[in-house]
Amino acid sequence: MTTPIQPGRGTRLRLTSGLELLEDWSRDADDLAKTAIYEVLFSVTEGSVFRDHVVVDDVDRPTEFFVLTRRYLAVKIQLLSLDTCAVLYIGPACDAPGLDRVAPDTATPGHDAAAGA
């Protein structure tokens, strides 16, 4: 079993890269999908993502993880430093690069798991 990547408790992250990806994705997304993704990104930056969402480590890249939403969407995040991160992917979970290689014991369930991620 791997230990999930987690910034220090109370750490706030700044999203410093990937905003153009978010902008491109949001052009065609409906309001419910946008809300789900914005909630994920907010929880990443304010530090509650590991508590509130289903988070899955990328087994090949220790500084990257996926966050799954109730809308069958995934966001891939890369930790750049102790206080910065980047969005690498936003879209359908079935198309998320690397999510198919995830070991079954690397997910940390949050409230989305109980709600039918």
pTM comes to 0.78
Q: Is the domain 14-106 a CATH 3.30.2320 member?
A: no
Dihedral angle over CA of 82, 83, 86, 91, nearest 10: 90
Q: Can you give the pLDDT of all 117 residues of the chain as single tens digits?
A: 344 445 545 568 899 999 999 999 999 999 999 999 999 999 999 989 989 999 999 888 999 999 999 889 999 999 999 899 999 999 999 999 888 866 555 555 665 544 444
Around Cβ 106, how many Cβ atoms within 10 Å?
17
Q: Give the start-to-end residue ranges of the domains of the chain.
A: 14-106
Taken in order 112, 38, 56, 80, is the CA torsion positive or negative?
negative
Rg (CA), the chain: 13
Distance between CA 49 and CA 57 in Å, rounded? 13
Contact 32, 71 (CB under 8 A): yes
